[in-house]
Chain A
């Protein structure tokens, strides 16, 4: 598979009264054509800012994508292209599905208008063709009586239905990449399953690459092929889903997996939380950002920041101790 998206040394900062927040602090990763990649991490780890940076949706000021960062999409640098060109890509070749289906649709426009407007703009369809395709799209995402529904406003739709509309919108211009930022976090669990199932089927059918940003480790396990774990603005580990869940090599990944209660495990076992809290991103100094919470931290972790290293079969982790961790079988959940 060829590389569709290449993020190279992306730094995104916010200038605030409290100081400079290094929200994304030098991340690099690729996404291949048709691949599903999950980016996981807790609040404030930079997973959303990283994704918004791809489409240059970072408000400036206070935000800033630092000089030297590169994001190549099908070989073209998204960060250096002019505004017209990025607008063409945004919503066309790369589309987004946001967390809040309540706020990401325009409340005063009909669903039909929001769908057809985009297609007329990006695909150059006329009104009649756009209408036909809008009906097709709604049917595809499982909304019945599509013709009638097109004339309705977002408030006529439930949360799950709005998210279906968002998916229809995201697919409408035949994108090559969809970025879904916590697409099901606001939804109930049975609706979450419907929506994720739908996204999986449709992206596979159409060969669209998908980046799912989520904090839900269950969702990642069910839907992602490759996983990127972020902490304090950095990527700490990358691997296939199976590698990440069954032989994690970064203490943070191990900590996350031991923190989640599992429905398929016997009850009565105590959870092993990660102690402490994520660091203040305005005060990141030298050394590994995870060090204060890490059970394996040593002196050298304070002096220098571990680089991402190959830990075998394409899995990458940023920990000085990954070899020692690999020897401890018991760490695997």
Chain B
């Protein structure tokens, strides 16, 4: 079976232009999400809490792609789920297009959910195995009242599939009849079906093979231009983030430790964690690799149930001084647009 070539037809597109500084579409202010840790089977009691997200603030301008990176358990996915209102934050504000979503009652929230969509990592578990692709795309449009006429909805489904590089006949197929890359395209079509303004991509290309991953990355880029989308791109693969994102926030143990323009962050990382993270990513070129200085980070990420006092990174940090274990560093703007939470760099 020959695969969709939508990505290649758009090959002549200009390179992704950087969006102009403008109003922010999404603002996250001091977001906290703490999960209780319970013990006991019958009589459950809270024995502690996991501070999955602990005071995260950022904003995303219209048309921009913000990358959220970090290792397992750093809180990047929870942040995304809070933005999607799949989790209600413990505290903090999520302001979308000027409206604070946290203050909205559930009923009114529905209208906003349409505008904020998601593409999940695993194309195997995020599609209902018993639903035909067509039904899967039809349902959200019906529920949100996008189009009441069934035949026009059908036409729209065909159009969505085509946009995502899938033949129209796929509407009658089930997920198991498709490859991973095709399923991810269905996931993207589903997100687009409601004409969203904002899409949270949670590890959207991580499960795909290299050659298929590149196809989907190009598709995401094309869609951003075509439909004026804004992305929150959550990923652990820094090479992909570097390629796709205008700005990048690095998270560690529930906090943002560094935030900057993509070029600046990758060219001039300042936080010791970011430096170690970038150094750990191997570059696919043996000559470049042989010349690179590799800095291996010692130890492992501490438990978010019991994070270290002061700067959460200090037990693994090469620059750590005594004060680091006492007070928590604030994010400071050390260069225009480059924010770093470390007292030891300037």
Q: Show the binding face of A for B, using Cβ within 8 Å.
A: 42-43, 158, 160-161, 188-194, 197, 215-224, 241-242, 245-246, 255-264, 267-278, 280, 292, 333
Contacts and interface: CB of A to CB of B under 8 A. Distances in A.
A278 B211 CA distance: 10
B345 interface: no
Contacts of A188: 71-72, 236, 301
Interface in B177-218: 179-181, 209-215, 217-218
Contact of B214 (A190, A259, A277): A259
B266 interface: yes
A218 B294 contact: no
B283 A270 contact: no
Given A255-B211, A261-B217, A267-B262, A194 B296 contact: yes
Nearest to B242: A263
Given A221-B282, A267-B243, A273 B215 contact: yes
A190 B276 contact: yes
Contacts of B297: 190, 193-194
Contacts of B71: 188-191
Interface in B219-244: 221, 236, 238-240, 242-244
Contacts of A217: 210, 284
B217 A222 contact: no
A270 B287 CA distance: 23
A221 B283 CA distance: 7
Interface of B: 1-3, 5, 7-8, 11, 13, 15-16, 71-72, 179-181, 209-215, 217-218, 221, 236, 238-240, 242-244, 262-263, 266, 276-289, 294, 296-297, 300-301
B268 to A, nearest CB: 13
13 contacts: A42-B210, A189-B71, A218-B289, A221-B282, A222-B289, A241-B286, A257-B284, A262-B283, A264-B288, A271-B214, A273-B214, A275-B5, A278-B209
Given A194-B296, A263-B239, A216 B213 contact: no
Interface centre among A192, A218, A242, A270 (most CB of B within 10 A): A270
A241 to B, nearest CB: 4
Contacts of B15: 268-270
Given A43-B209, A273-B215, 6 more contacts: A42-B212, A222-B289, A245-B284, A261-B244, A263-B281, A270-B11
B289 A221 contact: yes
Sorted from nearest, which 8 A-B pairs have the closest CB atoms? A218-B282, A273-B214, A261-B243, A188-B71, A259-B214, A193-B280, A217-B284, A268-B15
Contacts of A262: 239, 283-285
A143 to B, nearest CB: 12
Contacts of A193: 279-280, 282, 294, 296-297
**Which of A221, A245, A262, A273 has the largest count of B CB atoms less than 10 A from its CB?**
A273
Contacts of A224: 286
A228 B240 CA distance: 24
B211 A259 contact: yes
A42 B16 CA distance: 28
A277 B179 contact: yes
- Name B's interface SS: helix
Contact of B284 (A191, A221, A273, A275): A221
Contacts of B1: 277, 280
Contacts of A223: 282
Nearest to A274: B211
A242 to B, nearest CB: 5
B234 to A, nearest CB: 14
Contacts of A220: 284
A237 to B, nearest CB: 15
B294 A197 contact: yes
B242 A273 contact: no
A258 B218 CA distance: 13
Contacts of B285: 221, 245-246, 262, 264, 333
A275 B242 contact: no
A262 B209 CA distance: 16
A218 B283 contact: yes
Contacts of B211: 42, 255-256, 259, 273-274
A152 to B, nearest CB: 16
Nearest to A257: B284
Contacts of A194: 296-297
B213 A268 contact: no
Contacts of B262: 267
A36 B277 CA distance: 25
A255 B213 CA distance: 12
A73 B8 CA distance: 46
Contacts of B181: 277
Contacts of B288: 221, 264
B277 A189 contact: yes
Contacts of B3: 275-277
Contacts of B7: 273, 275
A273 B6 CA distance: 11
B282 A216 contact: yes
Given A42-B209, A190-B71, A274-B211, A260 B2 contact: no
A220 B283 CA distance: 9
A274 B8 CA distance: 9
B284 A260 contact: yes
Nearest to A197: B296
B210 A246 contact: no
A264 B209 CA distance: 21
Contacts of A218: 239, 281-284, 289
B287 A246 contact: yes
Contact of B16 (A160, A264, A268, A277): A268
